Structure 1
Amino acid sequence: MARSGNAGSSRRDRRKRRGDPSSGPAAGRRPVPAEGAIIIFAKAPVPGTVKTRMCPPLIPDEAASLHGSLVMDAVERTRSLRGFDVFLACTPGMDHPFFQTLAARYRIRLCDQVGEDLGQRMDHALTAAFNRGYAHAVLVGTDIPNLAARHYERATALLQTTDVVLGPTEDGGYYLVGAKHPVPALFANIPWSTGEVLAQSRARADRAGLVVGLLDPERDLDTFDDIRAFLHDDAGSGRQALSTRTGNVLHTLIQRHGNTPPA
């Protein structure tokens, strides 16, 4: 989205840099048409900036193609849900053509991620949703091929009796966080991108007196070995919810690089 050079635009840009809620899901003046907000955190599929732990054996273009397909999956799987507005929280910015195309195709709302680290960005996005008037909000990433409507429905059900819902990943992180009020304590001083994220987050929730509900764990795709394991283990479990597009991408990558020794 182009930014004009007028004073109003400058003021809006300054508010966004300061982390004002009006730059996130709170932006706009329309009445809230839904009870809940879904916030999908996504990076633009720029080669060399996404799925870098898969390279090698993947080349950056292959990693970006997989990432872009997973982002589209995450958006498409919200379309059957009722009672939610869907936001795509974008980095490096919502003016990137990839995000603009998704907004036009799926009629979702765009906002920028605001904050210095992942915790600040998630806290800002959730708080902005509550400032907008939503009764509950669910924030997800795009690394889970099996992410489906059932995850949002289960998270919403758990929030009736808890303060926070987390969806654990098998590597010690989480793929989903839901809440019904701001929870800044959950995101402060967490060692992001480590195997301690879930444990540290639960400990901080306990200290803050927050009741936490857990979804079933899921496998995320961070490395090429994760692709191997996902296609082997999850296929046998009957739990796969792959789109045809992403399934084709994954199987093509295995055909090209499947003989690469496991890390």
Structure 2
Amino acid sequence: MRRGTVIVFVKAPVAGRVKTRLGAEIGYGRAAALFRVLTQRTIAESLKGEWDAMLAVDPPGAVHITARFWPAHMPRMAQGPGDLGARMARAFEKAPPGPAVIIGADAPGLRARHLRGAFRALNGADAVFGPAEDGGYWLVGLNRRRSSPDLFNGVRWSTKHALADTLKTLPASFDAAMLETLRDVDEAADMKSLSLFSSA
């Protein structure tokens, strides 16, 4: 099978622009600090495998940022306009040939072994998902041997329906594999359950 690509979706960690739902509860500065930590962890895991890793960044001007948490050597692309579905579809189109997976930076439990599992699944499946406890997903991957023109159309993002809606956009003939369910961090309760910060 051709060498795979991991695409890490990241945002410039500006207070008030990242993790806004969480920021409304704990403060936008603190939420941005958490996002920086999660981004560093996620990128570190994405660089531990036998695949290529790249960043898809937002806003577009952030492509030129070379902060400590965005390694300067990692290739990057702009996510571009549109909702999350439009941006992910664009990333799949721009990725090098071969299987590709997209991950966000808000699932602290994500490890390189999950990425290896995703690529193994794509040896036989057309698509692979890493379900999140809230009904969304922390990973989506395609082997890209066949097209999926309606992928992500009409998905209700940031709701408990996101994964189910996305599965409905796949061609009927597609085989979709599932990885283990992880928890992502969107609200203060998620932080407490994962012990990411003390309660102070």
- Give the TM-score normalised by the residue count of structure 2: 0.91
2:123 is the alignment partner of 1:160 = yes
Amino acid at match of 1:86: A
Higher helix share: 1
Q: Which range moves more in the overlay, 53-62 or 39-48?
A: 53-62
Matching residue of 1:204? 169
Matching residue of 1:173? 136
Matching residue of 1:89? 56
Where do 1:93-104 residues align within 5 Å? Answer: 93-95=60-62, 99-102=65-68
Amino acid at match of 2:112: A
Residue 217 of structure 1 aligns to a residue whose secondary structure is coil
Where do 1:74-85 residues align within 5 Å? Answer: 74-82=42-50, 84-85=51-52
Structure 1: 5+ residue stretches without partners: 1-33, 232-249, 257-263
Matching residue of 1:136? 99
Matching residue of 1:116? 82
Amino acid at match of 2:189: D
C-alpha contact 1:190 1:201 (8 A) present in aligned 2:
yes
* Cα 1:199/1:226, change in 2 over 3 Å: same
> RMSD between aligned alpha carbons?
1.9
Give, in angstroms, the shift of residue 96 of structure 1. Answer: 5.9
State, as a whole percentage, how many aligned pairs show the same letter.
34
2:19 is the alignment partner of 1:51 = yes
- Give the TM-score normalised by the residue count of structure 1: 0.70
Matching residue of 1:23? none
* Cα 1:211/1:115, change in 2 over 3 Å: farther
Aligned equivalents of 2:9 and 2:102: distance in 1?
A: 7
Aligned equivalents of 1:185 and 1:172: distance in 2?
A: 20
Matching residue of 1:148? 111
Matching residue of 1:126? 92
Residue 61 of structure 1 aligns to a residue whose secondary structure is helix
2:171 is the alignment partner of 1:190 = no
Give, in angstroms, the shift of residue 62 of structure 1. Answer: 0.7
- Higher CA-based Rg: 1
C-alpha contact 1:94 1:111 (8 A) present in aligned 2:
no
Aligned equivalents of 1:37 and 1:221: distance in 2?
A: 24
* Cα 1:96/1:159, change in 2 over 3 Å: closer
Give, in angstroms, the shift of residue 60 of structure 1. Answer: 1.1
Give, in angstroms, the shift of residue 79 of structure 1. Answer: 2.2
Aligned equivalents of 2:105 and 2:69: distance in 1?
A: 16
Amino acid at match of 1:85: D
